């Protein structure tokens, strides 16, 4: 009888199971190899045409061979995945560009770099090289200085130049941006052009911009931008040194390229269309040179802020000796998106220390909001003597705490000045000068200025003549009454105290014997003003009770 074997079927089933298990295991452990990174970007002193762009590691070893840039300075290349886990540098050499400041064509570009931290690059990333990114990369790569990381280099750079280059933003050509360029791209292009302007301002050739970048790296290696490295001057080219006010020169270069200096927000080479409130917070350098003097801006107890700001100008000569006997004048100017205006200020007066001059400016507004948003920038021109002038760019912050100033207006049809759109009520700005004293013997001092135009805010006092020579708007101040009250809702005449005019200083008014104010507790000081018998109101309309005074919020014993 034929026997039926069960071995083969069992063996077949076993083999099928093993194969299935192997397939399952193989499927569960397999994965797609990590992708290489295809990147692109722009090489921009201005856009550099025909540059060789490669990728190197921190030791200079080539990771990706050179590729050329096109006429717009753009390149694209692929970085192997195995190299993405280390710091990498986009390196550009050669090529030519049209210099933004001079218009010189076919300027040969030097080395430009963009530093990329490990694992920061993915497929599709954009990486651009600019003068700013080049400085940062060289600070990191120069192992002789104490700057070890990109983050440290960015802090040093930002302290010097007021911004941190974003290599992911492709800079537009500031002299001819494409129609769809973003504001961020335009700003990156404007900042690149500032180095071109600085090169020209220092009397260098366009091609020597790259020598300037190398000198700036050497200067910054000790953490500050002051024309020196470890106490020694920094050479740009043979016989040409970085000036000690190079930080101020950079700010001036940026703003000169951006703004022609005409009224409004008018531009020359700069065609980005960015207004003065769109160019970021301007770096505030505190050393500037004139033809023969070094002028140092020394902040007072408080940094510059809306309202009263006090500071000292320290003036020395080429031999570093104090310069005495000067009458230093100030010309402040706020550059906003669509117009400019000045602000009340006093000429500087000699201080106790030889060569020091104490100055006061009453800022009508901040240049930087508490959020960091720029409102534009303040330009503070110092006229130390005939032919000896320079400019600072103070960062003016919002006032915190007590109200820095209040405004009352001339009545419509009566006390008017010429405005941009026709006649307007004259503004009287009453600045909080000081609150002193204790208990029921407090003193409140104000500085009062009047608006003659966007450019003129003289002090107001009995005998002052406003808008001299203007037949339609001239006003002689024959009588003036300033009154203050600390009563919650002043109603009776006895609620008001009359302030006295300071006979020794024009525009200052002092109210004494104020009560109802408590140290450490927020309170109110109301103020009202009459000039030639006319009540000035908060809205420029006829007096109606509530509009006849304005109010300061103050905290005695506080800020």
What is the mean pLDDT of the segment spanning 503-521? 95
What is the mean pLDDT of the segment spanning 50-78? 98
Beta strands in 262-306 (DSSP E): 287-289, 294-299
Question: Is the torsion defined by CA of 7, 12, 15, 21 positive or negative?
Answer: negative
Give the pLDDT of residue 14. 43
Radius of gyration of the chain from its Cα atoms, rounded to whole angstroms:
33
Residue 145 CA, chain-centre distance (Å), reads 27
Confidence band (pLDDT; 50, 70, 90) for 172?
Answer: very high
Least confident of 77-81, 120-124, 296-300, 490-494: 490-494
What is the mean pLDDT of the segment spanning 196-223? 97
Give the whole-angstrom CA distance, residue 99 versus residue 139: 25
Q: Which tokens is 120 given?
A: 């920061």
Whether 390 and 290 have beta carbons less than 8 Å apart is answered as yes
Residue 260 or residue 214, greater confidence: 214
Question: Is the torsion defined by CA of 56, 62, 63, 64 positive or negative?
Answer: positive
Helix axes 150-161, 246-258, angle to 10 degrees: 70
> Residues 410-434: pLDDT tens digits?
999 999 999 988 999 999 999 999 9
- Smallest Cα–Cα separation from 236: which of 200, 209, 197? 209
What is the mean pLDDT of the segment spanning 524-549? 97
Give the whole-angstrom CA distance, residue 475 versus residue 468: 8
Q: Which tokens is 27 given?
A: 């499927």
Q: How far is CA 259 from CA 219, 265, 276, in A?
A: 28, 7, 8
- Smallest Cα–Cα separation from 197: which of 249, 124, 157? 249
pLDDT averaged over every residue in the chain: 92
> Residues 453-496: pLDDT tens digits?
999 999 999 999 999 999 999 999 999 999 999 999 998 999 99
């Amino acid at each position: 009888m034929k026997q039926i074997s069960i071995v083969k079927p069992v063996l077949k089933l076993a083999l099928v199971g093993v194969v299935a298990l192997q397939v399952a295991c193989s499927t569960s452990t397999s994965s797609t190899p990590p992708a290489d990174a295809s990147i692109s970007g722009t090489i921009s002193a201005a856009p550099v045409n025909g540059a060789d762009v490669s990728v190197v590691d921190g030791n200079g070893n080539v990771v990706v061979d050179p590729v050329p840039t096109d006429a717009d300075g753009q390149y694209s290349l692929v970085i192997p995945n195995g190299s993405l886990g280390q710091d990498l540098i986009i390196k550009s050499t050669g090529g030519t560009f049209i210099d933004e400041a001079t218009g010189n064509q076919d300027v040969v570009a030097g080395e430009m770099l963009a530093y990329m931290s490990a694992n920061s690059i993915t497929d599709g990333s954009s990486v651009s090289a600019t003068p700013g990114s080049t400085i940062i990369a060289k600070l990191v790569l120069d192992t002789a200085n104490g700057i070890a990381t990109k983050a440290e280099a960015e802090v040093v750079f930002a302290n010097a130049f007021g911004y941190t280059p974003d290599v992911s933003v492709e800079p537009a050509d500031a002299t001819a941006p494409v129609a769809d360029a973003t504001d961020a791209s335009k700003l990156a292009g404007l900042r690149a052009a500032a180095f071109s302007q600085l090169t020209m301002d220092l009397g260098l050739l366009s091609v020597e911009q790259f020598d300037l970048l190398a000198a700036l790296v050497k200067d910054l290696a000790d953490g500050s931008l002051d024309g020196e490295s470890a106490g020694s001057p920094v050479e740009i080219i043979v016989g040409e040194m970085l000036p000690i006010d190079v930080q101020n020169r950079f700010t001036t270069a940026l703003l000169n390229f951006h703004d022609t200096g005409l009224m409004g927000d008018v531009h020359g080479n700069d065609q980005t269309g960015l207004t003065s409130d769109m160019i970021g917070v301007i770096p505030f350098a505190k050393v500037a040179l004139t033809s023969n003097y070094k002028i140092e801006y020394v902040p007072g107890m408080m940094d510059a802020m809306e309202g009263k700001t006090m500071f000292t100008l320290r003036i020395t000569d080429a031999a570093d000796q104090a310069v005495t006997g000067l009458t230093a004048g100030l010309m402040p100017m706020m550059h906003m998106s669509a117009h400019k205006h000045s602000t009340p200020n006093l000429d500087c007066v000699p201080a106790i220390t030889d060569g020091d001059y104490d100055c006061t400016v009453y800022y009508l507004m901040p240049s930087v909001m508490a959020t960091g948003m720029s409102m534009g920038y303040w330009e503070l021109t110092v006229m130390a003597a005939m032919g000896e002038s320079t400019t600072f760019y103070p960062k003016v912050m919002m006032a915190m705490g007590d109200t820095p100033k209040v405004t009352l207006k001339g009545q419509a049809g009566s006390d008017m000045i010429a405005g941009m759109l026709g006649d307007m009520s004259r503004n009287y700005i009453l600045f909080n000068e000081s609150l002193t004293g204790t208990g029921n013997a407090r003193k409140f001092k104000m500085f009062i200025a009047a608006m003659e135009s966007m450019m003129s805010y003289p002090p107001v006092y009995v005998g002052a003549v406003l808008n001299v020579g203007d037949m339609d708007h001239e006003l002689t101040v024959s009588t003036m009454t300033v009154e203050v009250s600390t009563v919650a809702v002043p109603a009776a005449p006895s609620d008001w105290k009359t302030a006295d005019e300071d006979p020794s200083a024009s525009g200052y008014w002092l109210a004494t014997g104020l009560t109802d104010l408590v140290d450490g507790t927020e309170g109110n000081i109301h103020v009202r003003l009459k000039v030639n018998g006319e009540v000035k109101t908060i809205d420029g309309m006829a007096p109606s009770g509530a509009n006849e005074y304005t109010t300061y919020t103050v905290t005695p014993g506080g800020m």
